[in-house]
A and B are shown apart, each in its own frame.
Chain A
Amino acid sequence: MIEIKNISKKFNGKQVIENISATFEKGRTNLVIGGSGSGKTVLMKCMVGLVEVDSGEVIFDSRNFSSLNFKERKPFRQEIGMVFQGGALFDSLDVEKNVMFPLSMFTHMTLSERRDRANECLKRVNLINVNKLSPSELSGGMKKRVAIARAISPNPKYLFFDEPNSGLDPQTAIVIDELIKEITEEYQTTTVINTHDMNSVMEIGDKIIFLFRGKKWWEGSSSEISSTDSEELKNFIFANKLMRELIGKK
């Protein structure tokens, strides 16, 4: 479980996130939604320690992560897997080496053990015969899947996804969503996903937090979201014509 308490962050005097508190539970897909510039990515970067919070606490299973220094965070970080918006695969390494990378750096596994684990993870994300391809030879969806395989290879306890569906076609986006849901349940990870894809919200959102202008505006589940009273959330959900029609029919 991850708990954030009263997190605030300013950049050059501008308040980007303000006093956000939330709990993200284990074995569930926790979604943070909101429009562009609402502070989703900054919140996630604060949670994983890529951006230092101005105030507040980030607690991973009752361990206060935000109070630790760079050195003390190291063992912690090996329990965290993150999939970035563009995949962030290492250009100089092929697919297999990308997936093996965390294992090569932090474990004493032999090359064959690492290779087996990489193949297992690639198979889990439905990728076969791509081991020797370089990231530039992969499609957007494949890059995301390799990034997921790399994130899960060291068996992390916490998984973070920043806009996993951005730039993907609707079919591939559904495949990625299902994959995230399956992995979360199978490995019992605490999964946090930043998205503004309403399909993801309805399909895999066990718990949803809506950010608006850097503040937590609403919290609930996918079944509760359509009956919200919040005008800002309604504007966000029903910006899409298809969503208006679907929810209207219900």
Chain B
Amino acid sequence: MNYFFHLGRFWMFMRLMFTKPEKWSIYKNLFMREVDSFGFGSLGIVAITSIFMGAVITIQTVYNLVNPLVPLWAVGIVTRDSIIIEFSPTMICLVLAGKIGSSISSEIGTMRVTEQIDALEIMGINSSGYLVLPKLAAAIFIFPFVVLISMFLGIGGGLVAGDLSGVISSADFIRGLQDSFLPFNVTFALIKTLTFAFLIVTVSAYQGFYTAGGALEVGRSSTKAVVYSSTMILFSDFILTVLILS
């Protein structure tokens, strides 16, 4: 019963969010601010995660490659495809769900408990549209770029780590990278990224928007936002993989 209540309320929340903005110029400014926050504000954590992720995938793949019939340069193929298809879109979006999802939920939740959302509504402003739509548009716009950067950094990290640790030479790794590349894998990764961006923003905003109480409840909403959006990412990852790749 509770599940249906939340589903219905989430649907109403989405319907209100997609109504015509009061003033496009204000929404445009908010969109630019969120692009800066979601994109440039996340580059540090994305870079660190991606480089180490690529490095670990490379070294572990070499470690697991025990069949002498499989050439060493196949490590390049495995690293590239693992990063493009799964690790960059999913892992980075899980990291972003923690960073951006909790921030969205606590920002909107604090606005709710300090009556700032009521103040918006008194003025005749569609609060869900004003608070969430620019964030959603910004996430859908900037997340694909962030994930593309993550792919390059992840593969770069694998290349450098393989070479520095001596498990695979740069030449072998690059040969693997160039072998049997499927551009559709990037398209698939971007489809997943757009879906995850939508889920992170809407689920987190929903949790924040319906916060009731005080600081403790804001914290709880923030935790729920991360847990639910991460779960939704993993679930939709499975569904998309089944639908598109199988």
A→B interface (CB under 8 Å): 45, 48-50, 70, 73-78, 80-82, 84-86, 88-91, 101-102, 104-106
- Tell me how far the C-beta of B104 lies from the nearest C-beta in chain A, rounded to whole angstroms: 13
- B123 in contact with A102 (CB, 8 Å): yes
A73/B124 in contact, CB under 8 A: yes
Decide yes or no whether B125 CB sits under 8 A from chain A: yes
**Given contact pairs A105-B26, A106-B22, A85 touches B124 in the complex (Cβ within 8 A):** no
Which single residue of chain A is at the shortest CB-CB distance from B122?
Answer: A82
Q: Determine if B124 and A84 form an interchain contact, defined as CB atoms under 8 angstroms apart.
A: no
- Taking the nearest CB of chain A, how far is it from the CB of B85, in angstroms? 38
**Within the complex, which residue of B16, B115, B118, B124 is in contact with A74, where a contact is CB–CB below 8 Å?**
B124
Query: Is residue B116 within 8 Å, beta carbon to beta carbon, of the partner chain?
Result: yes
Which 10 residue pairs across A and B have the least CB separation, nearest first?
A77-B124, A88-B119, A88-B115, A84-B115, A74-B124, A82-B122, A88-B116, A78-B124, A102-B123, A105-B22
In the assembled complex, how far is the CB of residue A71 from the closest CB belonging to chain B, in whole angstroms? 8
A to B CB contacts below 8 Å, 14 in the list: A50-B118, A50-B122, A75-B124, A76-B124, A77-B124, A78-B123, A80-B122, A81-B122, A84-B115, A90-B111, A105-B23, A106-B22, A106-B123, A106-B124
Complex alpha-carbon distance, A90 and B116, angstroms: 6
**Interface residues of B: mostly helix, strand, loop or mixed?**
helix
CB–CB B122/A48 < 8 A: yes
A215–B23 Cα gap in the complex (Å)?
41
B115 and A86: CB pair below 8 A?
A: yes
**B60 is an interface residue with CB less than 8 A from chain A:** no
* Count of B interface residues, CB-CB < 8 Å: 16
Docked complex Cα distance between A70 and B26 (Å):
21
Residues of A within 8 A of B36 (CB): none
Q: Does B114 contact A (CB under 8 A)?
A: yes
- In angstroms, Cα B169 to Cα A118, docked, is 66
Contact A105 B125 (CB under 8 A): yes
Q: Is B179 an interface residue (CB 8 A)?
A: no
Chain B residue with the shortest CB-CB distance to A79 = B124
List residues of chain B with CB within 8 A of the CB of A86.
114-115
Across the interface, A77 reaches (CB within 8 A) one of B23, B110, B116, B123, namely B123
Which residues of chain B come closer than 8 Å to A78, judged between CB atoms? 123-124
- B33-63: CB near A (< 8 Å → 1, else 0) gives 0000000000000000000000000000000
Residues B98-132 near A (CB distance < 8 A): 110-111, 114-116, 118-119, 121-125
CB-nearest residue of chain B to A108: B23
Q: Which residues of A contact B22 (CB under 8 A)?
A: 105-106
Q: Which residues of B contact A104 (CB under 8 A)?
A: 23, 26
Bound Cα distance A102, B122 (Å): 10
Cβ–Cβ contact A77 & B115, under 8 A: no
Question: What CA separation (Å) do A77 and B22 show in the bound complex?
Answer: 13
Closest Cβ–Cβ distance, residue A46 to chain B (whole Å) = 13
